Structure 1
């Protein structure tokens, strides 16, 4: 008679081993370990995320510089108050039926651009429904009337104005029989340009009249680039290869923000008759501002011209008084400024003519200008405008 005891013993041992393994595995997959693994996975995912960044372009930074420029040119002048109408899409390409390719309203972008300038230009909101609702609850408000009203619209969006592409290929075959080898490379590039345009105009709020030549009509090209790289290698029938594709599309919303910042800079630069183009690297003089200043200066009396020259000399750090008299202190300041900044004009400059006054006005040192260091040093030394003895 054969005993079943050894067989039962083996089964008991197998069950014990299985239970032990289950216990070990259970010990590894604890709740704490699962939480730890989840936290680690979350940390790795968060580390790979792109962090929020300030949405700036060179024109957004130029608006800040423009605010500094106004503090220099318009020192002591009253604050300029700005309001806008709704700035919308006039091309109808923001309609969902055509894909909503561009934003339907960019009023908030215009408000943000105006608000970037600083304390010399203040935006006045227009929310009548909100004010009426608050007034019904007992709130009291003061009303600030704007000086200017900005109107405008997105006026152009032309897709695929131009496009071009290039392709380069290389193929090599060498070896015969079982040693035959094939090698090939394909490189393709294609670029497409589209165009977006924005028009802004300035209205005198008190007269409800559009100001002549106070407008900004700018366009930006939107860039769309695609690339494709292929390579293959084959050995007597067996082969392997790889393919890389890339596509870069400049954001249309980002392009419109660039247009808004540039257009607001131009519009308010014209309105204030300041050389706003100096706020942009490589900027060119605006003929509207130059002509307005020339007409204004040539229409002044000799006394007012001297005062204007003296005000500009103060901005170069010269201790002159705004007296309207062409005194010795003023003459000495003119020689110092023109000898330092405009030596190429010679020693016979007539500062009471537009040709002599123009470089003095449009080249006033700015805080970001390297030439302003001498002015800042003079101001730091406590040089105050001199008073002419009576």
Structure 2
């Protein structure tokens, strides 16, 4: 079942274009409607920092991003190089991610160290002619400003593109098994008012939303990159990234999480459970010691999720909290 991101702040809000507010967009996609869901996608990056801290025993992860470019025949319709956006996304996560600018001559530390290879690998543009004037706009998203899609006519368009990340262990120079990500974004442009709706679909991401013309394709690509970054890190570090991206549960990550949890001492189990409860909105703080407020939160969670109503910390509770029950 597709999950949706539910975060507090608004990053992709409805704007005005040509003096008119954009109406709600409902376009059929994979048998369902693309609905307007206001979310802050960059918040997923910040939450990933806590995930890395909790599930990587407080140790940072070092990342080096190789040039990531458009390898399609887009004819200039896509950015030629998205490396800076990928670097910015990793760098926005927090202190548990160290983004390396230059790998030459770098001495290895004890931290996990990965090279991120990738590309825009697929691009399809389906156009249906329509009347109207050319439209272009300026957009600022994640502190990046630029002209978006100058000269695009008011007509129905469907744009599909795919971004692939293929991580490599820098020490062994081997690709990390089963850690690659491949996510596709579908951008629908309606003929009336130059509105956009988009849907990001992949094994680790599941998001529907709406954009205006002024935000356009480039902002959609940025959103796709940010969520793909959260996913690839989750596969490398083994944290439940789907709680942040809204996609499907990864069985490999779940298996590793389950094994680790069974081996964890009690204080580490309490820390993980309290963190996951807080992430899902419970009125608790992350702690490594049981307290009355945490006990009450556990009982409340179990009661609403069909588990025995006690404060025991066990595998069933943990699997439920990571969405794998």
CA positional deviation for 1:223: 2.7
Q: Which has the higher contact order (CA 8 A, sep 6+)?
A: 2
Alignment of 1:115 onto 2:91: yes
In the alignment, is the contact (CA less than 8 A) between 1:88 and 1:107 conserved in 2? yes
CA positional deviation for 1:103: 1.8
Aligned equivalents of 2:176, 2:56: Cα separation in 1: 24
CA positional deviation for 1:105: 1.4
Alignment of 1:198 onto 2:198: no
**Long gaps (5+) in structure 1:** 1-56, 132-141, 167-188, 229-246, 322-328, 364-390
Larger Rg: 1
In the alignment, is the contact (CA less than 8 A) between 1:83 and 1:149 conserved in 2? yes
Name the one with the larger helix percent: 1
Cα RMSD, aligned residues only: 3.7
In the alignment, is the contact (CA less than 8 A) between 2:64 and 2:101 conserved in 1? yes
In the alignment, is the contact (CA less than 8 A) between 1:164 and 1:191 conserved in 2? yes
- Residue aligning to 1:267: 232
Aligned equivalents of 2:64, 2:57: Cα separation in 1: 22
Cα separation, partners in 2 of 1:197 and 1:272, compared to 1, 3 Å: same
- Residue aligning to 2:115: 149
CA positional deviation for 1:116: 0.5
CA positional deviation for 1:317: 4.7
List 4+ stretches of structure 1 deviating above 6 A: none
Aligned equivalents of 2:89, 2:220: Cα separation in 1: 14
- Residue aligning to 2:206: none
Aligned equivalents of 1:60, 1:318: Cα separation in 2: 22
CA displacement 1:179-213 (0-9 Å, x = unmatched)? xxxxxxxxxx9522120110002211111111122
CA displacement 1:35-89 (0-9 Å, x = unmatched)? xxxxxxxxxxxxxxxxxxxxxx832232123224444x25862211110111111
- Residue aligning to 1:358: 319
Query: Residue 194 of structure 1 aligns to a residue in which SS?
Result: strand
**Long gaps (5+) in structure 2:** 1-38, 132-153, 194-211, 276-283
Q: Could you state the TM-score of these two structures normalised by the residue count of structure 1?
A: 0.50
Query: Residue 222 of structure 1 aligns to a residue in which SS?
Result: strand
- Residue aligning to 1:59: 41
CA positional deviation for 1:267: 0.8
CA positional deviation for 1:252: 3.1
1:1-390 equivalent positions in 2, closer than 5 A: 58-71=40-53, 73-74=54-55, 77-93=58-74, 98=75, 100-126=76-102, 143=107, 147-160=113-126, 191-227=156-192, 248=213, 251-280=216-245, 283-288=246-251, 289-297=253-261, 300=263, 304=264, 306-312=266-272, 315=275, 317=285, 336-344=296-304, 345-347=307-309, 351-352=313-314, 354-359=315-320
Q: How many residues align?
A: 233
Cα separation, partners in 2 of 1:226 and 1:320, compared to 1, 3 Å: closer
Query: Residue 157 of structure 1 aligns to a residue in which SS?
Result: strand
Moved more, 115-124 or 208-217: 208-217
In the alignment, is the contact (CA less than 8 A) between 1:154 and 1:199 conserved in 2? yes
CA displacement 1:244-283 (0-9 Å, x = unmatched)? xxx9586333332222111111111222222333335xx2
